[in-house]
Amino acid sequence: GTGGQATPVADTPPAGTPSGTPPEGMSPEPASPGPGTGGEVIMLSTQLAPLEEAEKMRNAILAEYPGGFPAENFVPAATAAEFTDRAEAEANAGEGNGEVSLFGALHGDLSILADAGQLTDLSDLADELGDLGLLESYVELGRFGTDQQLMIPWMQATYIMAASQEAMEYLPEDADQNALTWEDVTEWGRNIADAGHGQRLGFPAGPDGLWHRFFQGFALPAFTGRVNTAFNTPEAVEMWSWLEETWEFVNPQSSTYGFMQDPLQSGEVWVAWDHVARLRDAFTANPEGYVALPAPAGPQGRAFMPVVAGLAIPASAPNPEGARELIRYLVSAETSAVTLREVGFFPATEAELPAGLDPGIQNMSDAVVGMTGASDALPALLPVGLGEQNGAYNQVFRDVFESVVIGGQDIQTVLDQQTPNLQAVFDTSGAACWSPDPPSDGPCQVQGAE
């Protein structure tokens, strides 16, 4: 009985809970439907939607746009749902008769439109931008498994490790700080603990934390090479037992952490994993104090979850040319730099960042680039097509964690219990597997779930 307007609960915290801004950048800002001024380019974006980010987009990032960019033409969409609805409406308007000329959204959101064939081919533009050094893996994503370039990678964010200087001296000798393994992390935690500093590893396992992403994008793929299909496999069990072991050195208060920058700054945690946007304050406030590290690798590689925002032009675009112009501007090295500085999203390119960047940001971006460009890099995408089931999906992983690590129950049993729930998520949403799981026709099938 509660329609889109009841979003506060969906996207702001439930009344009275500390809400986090999920890095995907969803936050309550119901779109004030922008006026469609024919010739101009109207951009609808799920990204940079929160009030403050939107302001920065309008006043800083778009500032240098040749001929200026009318503020009201950048239309933030508060939620994926809102975005999809609007896009639907646009599509229904028909070829070239829509209002919006450019979509800015996450890869996952766009993939729905791509499947619906509502996006135009930008292969030429992709080639044209080739010398920018767009990250190949992302360009690949932009094709959505077709032979057309339906999306141009715009910017990215992801999750990395952050360590305070105190921690560095306890780094296992044999470990290379730019190519850590999860086993190293365990060692690291043990060293710190043995040195009498207590449990200094930390994870955002609180209600507002993005803890589920740790499993979906990092630990599971790193150990199994896959995510959902391998949910209930010996490798998965291995991962969970690793976590169990590691948890001895993890600050128990992790179950209250939302943004790891806080415990890092308070010193409760020395080594943390979290989304860059949620580590940023620590680095900007005290660049020397912290070291950014690429996510560690597991047996199956250096799995990480890229949060790729892309730009796409709908078939209904009234002004495709203007849109292409805007794309060129947004992905240009200069604009990317501004974007990074202002809102902390990293360029989707290998391009050198201009000097004079905030050292903290620099520090982080090095780690990001190091991770995304790593030889054993194993990108694991954000869930695609789960829709309303998103929460349920995340919950499965959190529940396993709470039962196994906090509750200390037998791993296999717990996995067996949860497998049906996970399967149910796919069955209800009808979502197909996404990379690194092998593509599936029809709902994704969890291994060992009938």
Partner 1 sequence: MRARGLGWAPYVLLVPSLVYMAIFFAAPMIQSFGLAFQDSTGAWSTASIERMLNDAQFSRALLTTVTLLVLIIPIQFVLAMGMALIINARLKGSGLWLYVFALPLGVSELAAGIIWFSIFTERGWLNTFLGGLGILERPYVFLNPQEPFWLIFAIVLAESWRATAIIMIILVAGLQSIPRDYLEAADVFGASTWQKIRRVILPLLRPALQTALILRTILAFQVFATVIAIAGRGLTVLAAEAYRWYGDLRDTNVAASYAGLILLLSVMATILYLWLLPTREERLA
Binding footprint of partner 1 on the chain (CB under 8 A): 1-3, 5-10, 12-21, 27-30, 32, 50-52, 196, 198-199, 205-207, 251-253, 255-257, 259, 266-268, 281, 285, 388, 390-392, 394-395, 398-399, 402-403, 406
Using CA atoms, how far apart are residues 246 and 190, in angstroms rounded to an integer? 8
Least distance between partner 1 and beta carbon 359 (Å): 17
Closer of 19 and 137 to partner 1 (Cβ): 19
Using CA atoms, how far apart are residues 92 and 99, in angstroms rounded to an integer? 11
Least distance between partner 1 and beta carbon 342 (Å): 15
* Under 8 Å between Cβ of 166 and 249: no
- The DSSP letter of residue 107 is H
Peptide bond into 436 cis (omega under 30): yes
Least distance between partner 1 and beta carbon 380 (Å): 21
What is the three-class DSSP state of 349? strand
Closer of 128 and 388 to partner 1 (Cβ): 388
Least distance between partner 1 and beta carbon 260 (Å): 13
Least distance between partner 1 and beta carbon 99 (Å): 19
Q: Which residues face 290 on adjacent strands? A: 164
Which residues fall within 8 angstroms of residue 433, CB to CB, at 6 or more apart?
228, 229, 439, 440, 444, 445
Q: Rounded to the nearest 5°, which phi and psi values hold at 95?
A: -45, 115
Q: Rounded to the nearest 5°, which phi and psi values hold at 367?
A: -60, -45
Closer of 184 and 274 to partner 1 (Cβ): 274
Closer of 59 and 178 to partner 1 (Cβ): 59
Least distance between partner 1 and beta carbon 409 (Å): 10
Closer of 121 and 281 to partner 1 (Cβ): 281
Report CA Rg, the chain: 21
Phi-psi region of 43 (alpha: psi -120 to 50; beta: other; left: phi over 0): beta
Using CA atoms, how far apart are residues 184 and 198, in angstroms rounded to an integer? 17
Q: How far, CA to CA in Å, does 182 sit from each of 71, 165, 187?
A: 45, 19, 9
Closer of 101 and 255 to partner 1 (Cβ): 255
Closer of 143 and 197 to partner 1 (Cβ): 197
Least distance between partner 1 and beta carbon 256 (Å): 3
Least distance between partner 1 and beta carbon 226 (Å): 25
Closer of 374 and 392 to partner 1 (Cβ): 392
Using CA atoms, how far apart are residues 361 and 158, in angstroms rounded to an integer? 13
Strand 201-202 with 271-275, pairing? parallel
Which amino acid is residue 240, in one-letter code? W
Least distance between partner 1 and beta carbon 298 (Å): 24
Closer of 266 and 375 to partner 1 (Cβ): 266
